[in-house]
Amino acid sequence: MARRMPERTSIVEEIIKVVQEQGITVVMAAGMGYFIFFIWKYVTQQILPALERATITTIALIDRIRMLDNDMIRMDQKINTILELRDIEEEKKGGN
């Protein structure tokens, strides 16, 4: 006696069988549930870590910009002081 191999059914045939047994609304609801789960999983595993890294980089860049702005303000004050001292020296030389 030869053993009989079970017939293989394709995925499409299985989906059609489930639709016939359960109805299109149940199958579509299950498919939508899987789609929502897939999107949620992708967002939490791929997008959120990338956003956290981008946020850290943005904060670091903002700190550097503030530091450079403070440096520019200090340099501007020093240049103004030097120019005022130069004007005072020129007035002293011109007044004598």
Residue with tokens 């011109």: 94
Q: CA–CA distance from 39 to each of 28, 29, 93, 94 (Å)?
A: 16, 15, 78, 79
Domain that holds residue 51: 11-95
With beta carbons less than 8 A apart as the criterion, state whether 27 and 19 touch: yes
1 part of a folded domain: no
Q: What would the pLDDT profile of 5-23 be if each residue is shown by its tens digit?
A: 556 778 889 889 989 999 9
pTM value surpassing 0.85: no
5: in domain: no
Residue 3 lies in a domain: no
Q: Is residue 83 part of a domain?
A: yes
Q: What is the mean pLDDT of residues 19-47?
A: 94
Number of domains in the chain: 1
pLDDT at 96: 61
CA distance 74 to 79: 9
- Using the CB atoms, write b or e for 35-44: b if 16+ within 10 Å: eeeeeeeeee
How confident is the model over 40-84, as pLDDT tens digits? Answer: 999 999 999 999 999 999 999 999 999 999 999 999 999 999 999
* Predicted pLDDT at 11: 87
For residue 12, what pLDDT is reported? 87
